[in-house]
Homo-oligomer: A and B are copies of this chain.
Amino acid sequence: MPVTLQDIAQELNVSIATVSRALRGMPGVAESTRKLVLKAAQERGYYPNLTAQQLQRQRTNTIGFIIPTFGPRFSDPFFSELLAGIGNAAAEAEFDLLVSTVAPGKDELPGYQHLVAGRRVDGLLVVRTRRQDQRIAYLLAEEFPFVAFGRTDQELNFPYVDVDGEQGLFQVMTHLIEQGHQRIAFINAPEELMFAQYRLAGYRQALAAHGLPYDDDLVRLGGLAETDGYQAGWELFCLGEQMPTAVCTSNDLMALGVMRAARECGLQVGGDIAIAGFDDIPLAQMAHPPLTSVHQPIYQIGRLICEKLLCLLRGEELTEPQTLLLPELVVRESTDYRV
């Protein structure tokens, strides 16, 4: 049985209120009494019942985070790094982190409602935003504190951190075009994801800027898994005359899939075909050949969205509610065998 304030109060013949005050270093307790209380608490190993504290204070000191999962063998390494950033930032602020996973086919809104309506957490982190994002609309309507990683297509004002995907794709494309590529394919993420829009915009913009035509056949939609890239890669490499000489993708996992397809088609990556990804997950540099990618500081972003949320919860005004980070192109051998 855990020891309560009651227990200590009884032992010392003081009131429970005094014990509470002493333990939390509140004023209005005689130094002598405080010492006694501290000693007793120490001896009996007192630790506050967090649930009781939460109920009373009406704050949980907890932030929530809902991760989309993809079933066995399809978890995104992206999230483990993001989680590390979030978790470490939360821990430093002495906040707990409540994580829910939402299984592949399932709707995610109920998960948010559970945490919000159940007052289970003080604030939420929303990742992988959609063009029309019901989660964000919901949180805004409830006036529930949250910070998103990513923007939306709606005219909504909310705090977020995002990486400028338009810029990112523009940079990759410029690099490829400068390498002499004229037919460059783009494997995008599902349309409903907001970042897919930005990256596509960057792709088109770069084509336009260099007077290259936009060819529908060269633009594909994939899920986000390696296998999606693999499949799209095969399709592209079977176009014969129409085959692209370079492929860029909306995430690294898909780029790795394209690489695999390329190898199976007997193409030398970096030589016969250039391939570039997005995210620059740790694996990108370990790939063979190392993968050109657009670096997103994922761990830092995790920290950043978490810290922003913590500010909100402290009642502070955010000095920069919306942060747009500039991505950085990392050129490796997959787009340039001379590197």
Contact = CB atoms under 8 A, between A and B. Distances in A.
Contact of A80 (B76, B103, B120, B297): B76
How many copies the complex holds: the figure is: 2
B97 A99 contact: yes
Contacts of A286: 226, 256-257, 260
A283 interface: yes
A60 B69 contact: no
Interface in A287-336: 287-288, 297, 299-300
A48 interface: yes
A7 interface: no
B83 A91 contact: no
Interface residues of A, number: 61
A55 interface: yes
A254 B88 CA distance: 25
A163 B230 CA distance: 31
A118 B75 contact: no
A24 interface: no
Interface in A39-93: 45, 47-52, 54-55, 60, 62, 67, 69-77, 79-81, 83-88, 90-91
A20 interface: no
A299 B72 contact: yes
Interface in A217-269: 226, 256-257, 259-260, 263
